[in-house]
Every structure is written in C-alpha cells, then in structure tokens.
A and B are shown apart, each in its own frame.
Chain A
Amino acid sequence: MERSKQSSHYKDKAFKRSTWLLLFLICLLGVLVMVSLASGYMALTPTEIWLTVTGAGTASHELLLYQFRLPRIVLAVLVGTGMATAGAIFQGVTQNGLADPGIIGIHSGSGFFAVLYLYLLTLNQDQPPVWLNAGLPFAAFIGGISAAVLIYVLAWKEGVTPIRLILVGIGVNAGFSAALLLVQLRMSESDFNRALIWLSGSIWNASWAAVLRLLPWILIFIPLSLYKARVLSVMQLGEEMAVGLGTAIEKERIKLLTIGVALSAASVSAAGGIAFVGLIAPHLARRLVGGKFQRLIPVSAVTGAILIVLSDTLARTILAPSEIPVGLIVSVIGAPYFIYLLITIKD
C-alpha cells in the first residue's frame, strides 16, 4: 500500500517533469522557427518581420516569409517529427538503440521506389499526370514496406536478434542505394539532378504543395504512434513478460513497424534520405525523459523537429546564397554521435 502510493507519487513527479520539459522544447522550437524565419539570403530586420506578421508589411516581404521561408520551415518541422518518431518506433520494436530507418535501409528503399516511380511515369509521356507528386509518398511507402519485409525475412532465424537485424539492414541499405544509383544513371541529366535529393536530402525547393502532401501522413500516423506508445513500453519488458501481459507481440510488432515505415517513407518522399535524425532524436529524448514511450515519443518528435529546423537554418546561411543539402548538415552532426554510440553501447 505504502509502496504503491510512493510510486504513484513518483510517477506524478516524472510526468510533471516531462510535461514541463516538453513545453520547454516546444518553446525552443518556436524560438528556432523565429530565428529561421529571420535568416536567409535576403536580410529582414525584426521590425520588418513584425510588420509582415501583423499584416502591415510590403507585398514582397509577405511573399518571402509566407511563400518561401514558412513552407520550408513547416516542412522541416514535419520531416523532423516524422523521422524522429519513426526512429523511436524502430528502436522500440527492435529493442535496438542503433535502429534508425535511415541506417537499416528503410530510407533507401523508399528513395529507390520514389525515384523509380518518377522515372517510369515521366518516361515516354508528353505531360506527367497531375497526380504525379501526390503519388510520391505512396510509392515511397511501398518501397519502405518492401525494405522492411526484406530485412525481416532475411534476418529471421527462429526470431530476429537485434544485431542480426542491424547487419541485414545495413546490407539492404547498400543494396537499395546501389539500385537507386543505377536508376539515376539511366536518367537524363536534369532528371538526375532532380533525383539527387534522394541521395543527399534537401528541402530547399519546399512549397505549400509539398507541405500538403506530407501533412496528412503526419496527422494520421503521429497520433497513432502516440496511441501505440503503451504497447511499445510493454515490449521493453521482454517478450515473455509482454506476452504474459496479454500483448499479441508479433501482430503489434507488424502494426508498429507499418506506422514507422509510413512516417519515414512520407518524410523521405518530401525531403530525401536524411539519415541519423531517427537515431539522435530518440537517444537525446531517452536521456531527457527515460525509456517510457508515452513520454519518449513526443519528446523525440519535438527534438527531431528542432534538429532539422536548426540544420536547415545552417544549411542555407553558412554558404548563402548557395545552399548545402540539409541531409549533409545532419550527417555532420549525426555521424560522430553514431560512432560515439557504437563505442559506448553495452552488448
């Protein structure tokens, strides 16, 4: 009796703490969004931004903020959210701290199908169909699912051990990357350049249209993953315990992986294969709020958004007016972190 009271008291405290933390992170994201809005090739003073936001700015400032910078920032937030949540789900399901959809081949599977889709549909056609871009996330989703199934089948040996899954995943990643390159080489020069974003990750040509293509996926699958967070937490207790608690473990695994693939594939279709977000964000989140997925998922989602908005702001200011693909900036931050994790992770 005494104990359970104590633990519920502790729970309240932890819950409170993580809620405050989440609020703080959201505020931080808000500040970053402001900074990002204000930075770019065309200089804007805070006064000018204020005037524009309150509707008293010039038409050209309005165009700059609302049509060029804002969709890009919103896209960065959505992509960061999607990729980080997908990462948290993958890490939870595989119980493997290194499982990032970008590392185990989900991204390159999605990218490969997206490029193949564009290549086949624009080949021998006067005008590409109007729904061409709208179909892109679906093509990416099919690619992501194929990659996931392939990894699962290849890694299956009376169950799937975490390390086997990663090794197979890295192999699948290499395979899809090679296939992607093969398709790209058969494209004309301008199509090749267009497809290049699936290799490096870039959102520089973001528009509201691109935001609208991604938004439904995020709006459907983020709440779903929050709803499923409890199951993920139960899974962490180990397979036997989870089954004992009444979880249909294989079924749930498949559902969760589908959600994860949907989130990562839709993000990839919008921004290309940005690796490491799905790795870093959940890790940082775990340090901040612990391993409970009800708290971990929202915190990693916001962390992922912060990461991409920050990287994108850097991507377009470091060498302005030229742009660096945002994926490269994330990799510069992410790769050392990945190595650090590899060195320190316990077997």
Chain B
Amino acid sequence: MKKLALGTLSLTLLLAACGNNEEDTELDPADGTDEATEEVQESEGPRVLTDGLGNEVEIPEDPEAVLASYLEDYLTALDITPVAQWSINDGEGVQSYLQDDLADVQTIPYDLPYESVMSVEPDLILVRDQIEQDMVDQYNLIAPTYVMNASPTSWRETMREIGTVLDREDEAASVIESYDARAEETASLVQETAEGESAAAIWMIDTSLFVVHPERSSGSVLYGDAGFDIPDVVDQLSDDADWAAVSLEELAEMDVDHLFLISDAESELMEDRLWQNIPAVENDNVYTFDSQSAWLYYGPIANEQVLEHIDSSLQQ
C-alpha cells in the first residue's frame, strides 16, 4: 500500500515536473503508434507530429543529419549516427560509455548555442528538455525542431517516441524487446545467486554520497529489470531527483547486501566504522565502477551495459 502511494506520488511529481501534455498524448504508447501509422498510410506528404510544446513539427523524410543532444544513446540503438554529440567543458567531457560508436562524431556544447548548432548543419533537431518557445523558434530557423513529449526519466517512452519521430517504430520496439529479453537473463542470474537480497547504487563524490532513484537511470535496471530488493531507505529518500543525497548513517541503515559504487577514487568515508559495518562491505559485495560508466545515464545502451556490469559483479 505504501509502495503504491509512493509510486503514485512520484508519478505525480514526474508529471508536474515535465508539463502535462504527455498525459494525453504519449503515456499510451499504442495510441501514438496508431496515429503515426495512419498518417503514413494516409498521405505521401511530409509527416507532421505534435511535439512536447504543442507545436506541429514537419518531420523531413529520411533526415540524414539528426542532432539529438543527450539522446545519443537512443539514436545509436537505432543505428543512427547523430551529427554531433553532447559535451561539456568545451568538448572535454562526453558520454564515455558511448564512445565505441561515437568516437568520430564531433562535439557540441550541452547548452546548444545557436551558432554551434548552425555549424553542424542538422536537418532535424530533437530536444530532450522542455525549453522556451523563443529558443525553439530560433532553432527552427536552422532546422525543424522537435521537443520531446516523453519524460527524460522514462527511457522506454523516450525510445518509442524517437522511433515514431524518425519513422522507425518497429526498430524501436525491437530494441525494447531485445533489451527486455537480455534483462531476463540478468534477472534469472540474480534469482539464482542473490534471491531476496537488496542492492543499491551509490555515487560517491569525495565525501558526498548519492543514491539512485528506484525508478530512474540505473535504478530502474537494478530494481525493475534485474529484480534486486529496494532497501526501505532508498524508497523514502527518493524525491524528484535521479540521484538523492544520502548520509553515511542512512547508507549504513540500509543494511544493503550488494553495493554498486560509482566512484573515481578511494574516499576517507571507507575508513569509517559505519561503512565497514555495511553488510555488502563485510561480505565483500562492493562493486566499483567509474563515473564515466553507464550507471549515471539513460537509454537502452546504457542500461544494457549496466546489466553486463551486474552480471560480471555477481559472477565474481
């Protein structure tokens, strides 16, 4: 009952945070697919879709240069190479876990300055977050700009919507299907080796700790797909953030059996008695990954890498 209440609450928060237009348009994926197929059958002309800001966007046929900053994961899953990729610090910071596929793709600053967007000459721009209409109008001068309906925190919805926009619904559906099939494997491994045991993903920056939201990013993989138990504390902490700040005391209180630690360096926290007494630490079930790995991201590729990390951790 409590879980249900929390679930409803977080759904409400999610809706409140992301505008309400997705309610009636995108939450029901079957609906969206129907609509799009209809349009394709009806006319040979350009497809027109309604985006997250309520704008009618004319989608070019077979766009070759798609700019979809911070949505590269989904594009790559559909075998589409984006025309430029998200970056911070003047191209220094990229989504490392995707670089097998994106090594040759030029970078673009995360805040998408107009001139940078212009210079990569996109013919379709997908925008992940709800931005101001003024900015969309400016981007539209460069190329048709489509603001996502789907909440960035739901990768399945995002995947389906991108499939619809790029006219690859079937491929998008099969990406989700094959991911779910892959997740089954990990789920059965978890059942075999760690049935009824709890896990948490903790992101450690110096002495600050953050715990993943149970329904977002790698949290949805850990609990929703792999089937680990959610420690009570994680459920209570989860607010409207992908990663919620957590104290060492709260972490100790979790009594967690498996700890997936995202960290780039040893921390003095690990010397603490509280840390030493965590069941996962006592039983040597702490698995460390660097902050460049897929754990902090969203998308089918990120999630599959997280599944692989879980597999190899459990088989150690």
Chain A residues engaging chain B, CB cutoff 8 angstroms: 40-42, 60, 63-64, 67-68, 124-127, 133, 188-190, 194, 204-205, 207, 209-210, 316, 319, 321-323
| A68 near B20: Cβ-Cβ < 8 Å | no
- Chain B residues within 8 Å of A63, by CB: 118, 141-142
Tell me the bound Cα distance from A194 to B134 in angstroms: 12
User: B54–A207 contact, CB under 8 A?
Assistant: no
**Which residues does chain A contribute within 8 Å of B18, judged by CB atoms?**
188
The contact sample of 11 A-B pairs, CB cut-off 8 A, is A40-B115, A41-B115, A63-B141, A64-B118, A67-B141, A68-B138, A124-B16, A124-B20, A127-B54, A205-B135, A322-B109
How close is A62's CB to chain B, nearest CB, in angstroms? Answer: 10
A63 CB, min distance to chain B CBs, angstroms: 6
The verdict on B19 contacting chain A, using a C-beta distance below 8 Å, is yes
Minimal beta-carbon separation of B221 from chain A (angstroms): 22
**With contact pairs A126-B19, A127-B54 given, residues A321 and B141 touching in the complex (Cβ less than 8 Å):** no
A209 to B116, alpha carbons, bound, how many Å? Answer: 21
Complex CA gap A205/B141 in Å reads 13
Least distance between A76 CB and chain B CB atoms (Å)? 15
Q: Is B206 an interface residue (CB 8 A)?
A: no
Residues on B lying within 8 angstroms of A by beta carbon are: 16-21, 53-54, 89-90, 108-109, 111, 113-116, 118-119, 129-135, 137-138, 141-142, 240
Given the contacts A205-B134, A209-B134, A321 and B116 also touching, CB distance less than 8 Å: yes
A12 CB, min distance to chain B CBs, angstroms: 48
Distance of A312 from chain B, by nearest CB (Å): 13
Determine if A190 and B130 form an interchain contact, defined as CB atoms under 8 angstroms apart. Answer: yes
C-alpha spacing A124/B19, complex, angstroms: 8
Say how far A290's CB is from chain B's closest CB, in angstroms. Answer: 42
Distance to closest chain A CB from B61 (angstroms): 21
B19:A41 contact, CB within 8 angstroms: no
B113 cross-chain contacts in A, Cβ below 8 A: 41, 204, 316, 321-323
Are B19's CB and A322's CB within 8 A?
no
Q: Are A68 and B118 in contact (CB under 8 A)?
A: yes
In the complex, which residues of chain B have a beta carbon less than 8 angstroms from the beta carbon of A322? 89-90, 109, 111, 113
Which 4 pairs across A and B sit closest by C-beta, in order of nearness? A41-B115, A188-B17, A321-B116, A190-B129
| Cross-chain contact of B119 among A41, A124, A319 (Cβ < 8 A) | A41
| Contact in complex: A207, B240 (CB < 8 Å) | no
Cβ distance B25 to chain A, nearest Cβ, rounded Å: 11
Partner of B132 from the list A42, A194, A204 (CB cut-off 8 Å) is: A194
Tell me the complex Cα distance, A190–B134, Å. Answer: 15
Among A68, A133, A210, A319, the one with the most B-chain Cβ atoms within 10 Å of its Cβ is A68
Whole-angstrom distance between the alpha carbons of A95 and B138 in the complex?
43
User: In the complex, what residues of A have CB within 8 A of residue B111's CB?
Assistant: 204, 322-323
Complex Cα spacing A207 to B54, Å: 20
Task: List the A side residues contacting B133 at CB < 8 Å.
Answer: 133
From residue B217, how far is it (CB to closest CB) to chain A in Å? Answer: 14
A210 and B21 alpha carbons, distance in the complex (Å):
26
Most buried by A among B108, B111, B114, B118: B114
Q: How far is the CA of A127 from the CA of B55 in the complex (A)?
A: 10
**Complex: how many Å from CA A42 to CA B113?**
11
- List, in ascending order, chain A residues with CB within 8 A of B17's CB: 188-189
- Tell me whether A42 and B118 are in contact (CB under 8 A): yes
**Which residues from A are CB-within-8-Å of B131?**
190, 194
List residues of chain B with CB within 8 A of the CB of A60.
Answer: 118
**Cα of A41 to Cα of B135 in the assembled complex, Å:** 18
Contact assessment for A319 and B90 in the assembled complex, using a CB-CB cutoff below 8 Å: yes
Contact in complex: B137, A209 (CB < 8 Å): yes
With A67-B141, A126-B20, A189-B17 in contact, is A321–B90 under 8 Å at CB? yes
Contact B240 A321, beta carbon cutoff 8 Å:
no
